[in-house]
Every structure is written in C-alpha cells, then in structure tokens.
Amino acid sequence: MDSFGIGISGLNAAQRAFDIIGNNIANAATEGYHRQRLNLTPAYTSQIGSVILGGGVDIAGITRMIDGFLQKEIFRQQSSLEQVSQELAMLRTVENLFGELSDGGGLSTALDGFFNALQDLSAHPAETIWQNQAITSAQTMAAKFKTLGQFLTSLESQISLEAENVTNQVNVLIGKIAELNHYINKQEISSGQAYNLKDQRDQCIVELSKLINVETESREYGVVDVSTNGIPLVVRTSVFELEVGIKENLDLGITVAGESNYNLDIQGGRLGALLSLKNDLIAGIHNDLNNLANAIIQQINQYHVQGVCSEGSFTELTGFSMISDNLADFEPPVSDGSIYIRVTNTSTGAVTRTEVPIDASTDSLTSIAAAITAITGLTASVYGFRLHIQADTGYEFDFLPSVLPTPTNSDFTGATSPPAISVSGIYTGTKNQTFTFTVSGSDSVGNGSLQITVTDGDGNTVTTLNVGSDYAADDRLDIGNGIKIALGTGDLANGNTFEVDAFVDTDTSGVLAAAGINAFFSGSNASNIAVCSDISAAPGRIATALGEDMTDNNNALRMAALRNQAVSDLDSLTPGEYYRRLITDIGQQVSVKQMHQKNVEAMVQNLANQQNEISGVNINDEAARMLIFEQMFKAMAKYLSTLQSSLSTIMEIL
C-alpha cells in the first residue's frame, strides 16, 4: 500500500501545483498580485531491514513571493512621487498664470506702465491727457493684481476642497484595509492561507500611499497596522478616520475625526502635496503678491494724501469705511506719530499748521475727529467708521509738507524794528526737522557783519548766512535741502532767533493713508486693490503738487520715484526687484520639483522592476512549470496503473 500512497501523493501534488499555476496565470495581469509557489518536501520514509524507502511527496505549503522591505520602500517612494507630481502640476499652473515668460503682458509690464505714466504726468501735471493716462495705467495694474490675487484665492479654496475629497478617499481605503484585516485574521487563525486577500489589502495600501504617506507594521495572523505621520489609521481591525480643517491662521491641517489637534506637517501623497501647497508654496506666492500690492498701495497713498492737485486745497474729504473705530484694529496697522494739518483762511491768506498727535494703541477715529474739530476753521466727524473732514466757510485745508511762509517761532528781543522774514521751498531732507536761525552781531539788515547760523534739530550746523553789507533786502538765501529764506529791511540784535519747521512727512503715523483721506488707491491686497472712485471719476484730482503755490510737480515725481525706491516692507527691494524675485522663485520651484519628479519616477520604476522579478508572473515560466507537473501527473498515473496491473496479475496467479 505504500507504493499506492506514493503515487497518490504525487497526483495530489501535481493537482495542487496545477491549481497554483492556474491561479498565477489567471492573475498575470492583476495589479498588486504576488506570484505564489508550491513548496514540496519528501514524505515520511520507512526502513525495511537495511533498506530505507521513501514515502512520496508532501505539500509543505504555499509561499507568496514578496519582499517586505521592498514593498515598504515602494509605498514610501510612490507616496513621494504623488506629492511632487501634484505640487509640480499646481506650480506650473501658477507659473503659466503669471505669464511673464510668454506674452510679455504680465504684471511686470503693468507696473512699468504705471510708473512711466506717473513720470509722464510729472512733466505735464495739469494736462488732462496725461492725467487720464495715469488713471488708465493704474487701473490696468490694479486689474493685473486682481486677476492674480483672485486666482490664487480661488486656487487655495479649491485646494481645501480637494483636501476634503482626498481625506474621504483615505477613509474609504482604510475602511477596506481594516475589513480585509478581519477576513485575513479569521482565515489564518483557522490554519488557512489568505494570500489573495493579502494581495487585495496590499493593493489598497499602495493606493493609500498615493494619497498620503504610509507606514505599516505586521502583526500576527497576517494583520497589518497602518499609520501616517505618527497618526494611527488602522490598528488590527479598528479604523481611525481623518478629517481636514482650517486653523485660526488659515493653515490647512489633518486630525483624527472628532479631535482638534490639527497636524500641519503631513508629508507624502496627494494629501501631503495639498497641505504643502495651501500652507507653504501657494500661500508664500500669495503672501508675496499681497505684500507687493499692499506696499504700492501704502506708499502711493502715503505720498498722495500729502499733496494737492492744481485745483488747490480741500473744503471736504471723506475716508474709507474701516472695520472699527479703534486705530488698534486697523489693517494695515498704524503707528504712533502725528498728522499735521494746514489750514488757510481764504479771506486773509493766513496759513497755520497744527499737529494732531496719534497714539495707535488708544486713539480712535472719533478721538482724531475731536482733535481736528478743535482746530479753527475745521469740523470732523465719523459715520460708518469713515472719517469726514469739513472746512468751515472761508477756510481750506490740506496736508502739504511745504514750509509755512513765515517762521514757526521767533524771538527778536532787543531789535527795535525787526525785519519781515519769508520762507519758501519744499524740503528735500530725509526726516522732519526744526531749523533754528541764530543771529550773530547787531545791525540793520544789509549792513555791517550780520550773520545767521542755521542749526538742525540735532544741533548740527547746517550753514552760515551773510545778511550784512553784501546782502540786499528780500534776496532769497538758500539754506539747503530745498528751503530758502528772505529778510526784509529792519534791524537785528545779537542772539535773536527764529525757527522753521520742515517736513518730509506730514503723516508720520500713517493714519491718513490707512483711513483713506485723499488716497489714490483703495484696498489692502492684490485681490481688492483699486483706484479710488473719486480719483478715477475726476483725474484732475491726482495730487501732483507739494509746494505752497500748488503748481509744481514734486509729488508726481515722488510717486514716480517709488519705482526705484527700496521699500522696507519689500525686504528693502524696489517693487520691480521684489516682483522679479517672486517670478524667479516660482520658476526655481518648478525646476526643482521637475527634477525631483524625474528622480523619484526613475526610483519607482527601478523598484517596480525589482518587485516584478520577485513577485511578477512570467507566463513562459509558469507554462514550463505546468509541463513539468503535467509530465509528473502522467508519470504518476502510469506508475499507479502499472501497480494496479501488477497487483492484478499476482492475484490471478494466487
């Protein structure tokens, strides 16, 4: 009977081999399938006398051809490939939108057009055609900013929605993995093999790795735990679903459903790419674009609010509608400082300048309005968080930095008939100053050796003026930095002094620009920048002048010069340099991501080739193995037939 046992074991082994080979061939094109191999061992041997006899063949089991370390590396690299591919696709979209390297009609051209128009306006400050050109170029630039800003805002919203969709896909996959863990565990506990189920589960993990970084840990009875970035997803048969949310700083984060500790540092897969894009890559580009728009808005407005148009000073101005009455809530923020308001009595021509101190932490539009109302000739109010300044009948106001026509303060003690002193010019220094003029000698103007020493607010001597024998009354004397004085006839005493306030900035707090008083642009970022409606409706209101006669072009020149001005809020770069750096950074990111993608693609392909050598089904090899077992089956059948025939013959003899 042992001989028949040997034959039957051979037939069973061949039949089982046919099943394994057939299963391999049937799944040759099945994604994620791992080739199986039948393991055969010699069966129990027996000894009869000195002869040791074999007992046929035993089926030791089935081996699933898989390299666990290689599989984990495939998960990791596949996750990395999906992330960099998603990031590259988004960045290419952004690069194409900016369009600086294609049609030449991007924001850079619009910026140049705006500053060129201001330069042209400075040569023709009172001519309508140049005023209209300045408005048109400003609107074109604002439209370019809006297109880019609104696209990036929309893209960030789409990224957030896509992150929710991907998170839902993750939750579906981890549910399937947990379910397969249950069936695998159940089957292997009962001493069965669940290779096909394991292939299905591993394929789910491969798909999961395309969505998010995956770490796996094998447990007993074929179970695999899955986690991502330190967050458990599948623990045996339990599932921990994810949810996506926006933190207070508008960053996108991931957490286990029902919890609030959002993780921003999610790496790998499409979900890792979406978080990286939302929180870093696209957000960085958007922030830079907003910084550029805001800097242009603030700098142009800071200059514009201090100037006037050829029509002269104002009788009424109304600012923007702010989010709050309190200055501490303003965006962009204002700082401690002062605003200086010039008021002109149109009947007498008398001009006064009044300082309104600003405390950014405690003041409000209402308190500023009260301080302005205390100035003779002005009334201010606040409605709808809008500051409104109204000149009384017979008065006008402005914020011109030009010097007042007479000294701010004077002390002519000892001079019986002091001269009239006139001051003119537009100060070209770098900071607000009070210049002190001190007389040396006692005599009448134009006689003797009278001199006047000029010192600045820091006590430094600026110049010494000769107003003695070589000076003709009412001749203008240049003290530098654009300021001139003239002395009429009269006498001076040694030690007489007078002061002249000189201003570069009549709004050191920035509150006028922030509140929109005589502003050129409205808005605060790339998405909402616009030319103020009262300026676009009346281009003649562009504030081109800074001088007292209000016919100069100094403010137009100052605004045009912003093109070449290093701005602290732009990392001490000019607007053009800052924008070129932004475009260059996008191009560099695209180039780096493209190179990274190619490297990871090559690595994934190499790993796939290695996996195919180990786990893949080769039809020719399987066919060859099938022929071997077919011959084995036939031979064993012949063997059994021969045994049967021999046994029959013996029985007939007996």
Q: Is the pLDDT of residue 102 over 60?
A: no
Quick one: pLDDT at residue 52?
66
Quick one: pLDDT at residue 56?
84
Q: 375-391: per-residue pLDDT in tens?
A: 999 999 999 999 999 99
Largest CA distance in the chain: 167
Domain membership flag for residue 38: yes
Among 234, 183, 177, smallest CA distance to 206 is for 177
Q: Pick the range with the lowest mean pLDDT from 82-91, 480-489, 499-508, 610-619.
A: 610-619
Tokens found for residue 357: 């101190």
Domain membership flag for residue 515: no
Q: Is the pLDDT of residue 652 over 90?
A: no
CA–CA gap between residue 370 and residue 363 (Å, rounded): 11
Domain membership flag for residue 281: no
Q: Which residue has the higher pLDDT, 316 or 58?
A: 316
* Residues 522-543, mean pLDDT to the nearest whole number: 93
Asked if 353 and 399 touch (Cβ cutoff 8 Å), the reply is no
Q: Pick the range with the lowest mean pLDDT from 93-97, 99-103, 306-310, 458-462.
A: 99-103
Domain membership flag for residue 106: no
Total number of domains in the chain: 2
Q: 627-636: per-residue pLDDT in tens?
A: 988 898 898 8
* Residues 399-415, mean pLDDT to the nearest whole number: 92
Q: 7-29: per-residue pLDDT in tens?
A: 888 888 889 888 989 988 998 88
Domain membership flag for residue 100: no
Residue 445 CA: distances (Å) to CA of 404, 479, 631:
22, 17, 132
Quick one: pLDDT at residue 104?
58
Tokens found for residue 169: 């896909």
Q: Pick the range with the lowest mean pLDDT from 144-148, 365-369, 629-633.
A: 629-633
Q: 335-355: per-residue pLDDT in tens?
A: 999 999 999 999 999 999 999
Domain membership flag for residue 6: yes
DSSP letter at 285?
H
Of the residues 467, 502, 537, which one is the last residue of a structural domain?
Answer: 502
Residue 332 preceded by cis peptide, ω within 30: yes
Of the residues 485, 502, 519, which one is the last residue of a structural domain?
Answer: 502
* Residues 171-200, mean pLDDT to the nearest whole number: 89
Q: Which residues pair with 59 in a beta bridge?
A: 40
Domain membership flag for residue 483: yes
Domain of residue 420 covers 409-502
Asked if 526 and 466 touch (Cβ cutoff 8 Å), the reply is no
Asked if 426 and 552 touch (Cβ cutoff 8 Å), the reply is yes
Q: Is the pLDDT of residue 653 over 90?
A: no
Of the residues 502, 536, 562, which one is the last residue of a structural domain?
Answer: 502
Confidence of residue 84 (pLDDT cuts 50, 70, 90): very high
* Residues 457-463, mean pLDDT to the nearest whole number: 93
Confidence of residue 611 (pLDDT cuts 50, 70, 90): confident
Q: Is the pLDDT of residue 190 over 90?
A: no
Which percentage of the chain shows pLDDT scores above 70? 98
Domain membership flag for residue 47: yes
